[in-house]
Structure 1
């Protein structure tokens, strides 16, 4: 009985999206893209994509800058329309060792091409270090 309860508890608390880390200095990092546990994440053009990132800050930071790109061919192209001021989506300044939650809603423009790509998201601290850096395959439909 105890084992069954433990498994059920784990299943209900592990709904984060699987991602590839690309050098995060904050830890542990969790990424939750709504309706996507296992990539590629299917994002519908003309709709919002909701994402929440959580981590523990490695150092104090006055700012949080967001960099987002999509790989088109062999080129990382900046993702248009994403607010680069991460402090709009979380509280700044950030103290070292603080648990940070950054949530955002990204409108997937109808004009975007219907493609499969890899998106890269970086949440950079005041020293331009990636508190969070993750790669995630996506499909725009």
Structure 2
């Protein structure tokens, strides 16, 4: 199912924030995904900067079951190959979200996607983001199309 995500483009030089949307696929979320803001994305494109990093902000609404841990598993899919992506923090309950997340509560968090150890290729990719609870049950999942390429310079 396609949904629209809110996407945040951070202009760090001037401190301006521009909000726009991109299309994503929910791939089996137990919780409601309310908002996703990805640095470097806008209505017409989503550029993930090769060799650099990018911020992501996610807001979700908990539905049953309660979650005591929230562990992120993130991949970039190059063609059919899943390449694990380092995301900081890995365990959201240890750093940003007060856990347990009750079955009817809002939660939001920020994470840093690190692309510095990924292959030195430029490619269309799919960002595949999953969050699991302590029982290894998937509570959130989305996929978004992007391009993994050299960052644009001004």
Normalised to the residue count of structure 1, the TM-score between the two structures is 0.76
Match of 2:70 among 46, 60, 64: 64
Match of 1:133 among 126, 134, 141: 141
Q: Once superposed, which parts of structure 1, at least 4 consecutive aligned residues long, lie more than 4 Å away?
A: none
User: Equivalents in 1 of 2:92, 2:52: separation in Å?
Assistant: 21
Q: What displacement does 1:50 show?
A: 0.9
- Which residue number in structure 2 is paired with residue 54 of structure 1? 59
The structure where helix makes up a greater share of residues is: 1
- Which residue number in structure 1 is paired with residue 125 of structure 2? 117
The structure where strand makes up a greater share of residues is: 2
- Which residue number in structure 1 is paired with residue 91 of structure 2? 85
Q: What displacement does 1:22 show?
A: 0.5
- Which residue number in structure 2 is paired with residue 9 of structure 1? none
Structure-2 change in CA distance of 1:98 and 1:46 (3 Å):
same
> Cα RMSD over matched residues?
2.2
**Structure 1: tracts of 5 or more residues without a match:** 1-13
Normalised to the residue count of structure 2, the TM-score between the two structures is 0.70
User: Equivalents in 2 of 1:39, 1:100: separation in Å?
Assistant: 28
**Structure 2: tracts of 5 or more residues without a match:** 1-18, 150-154
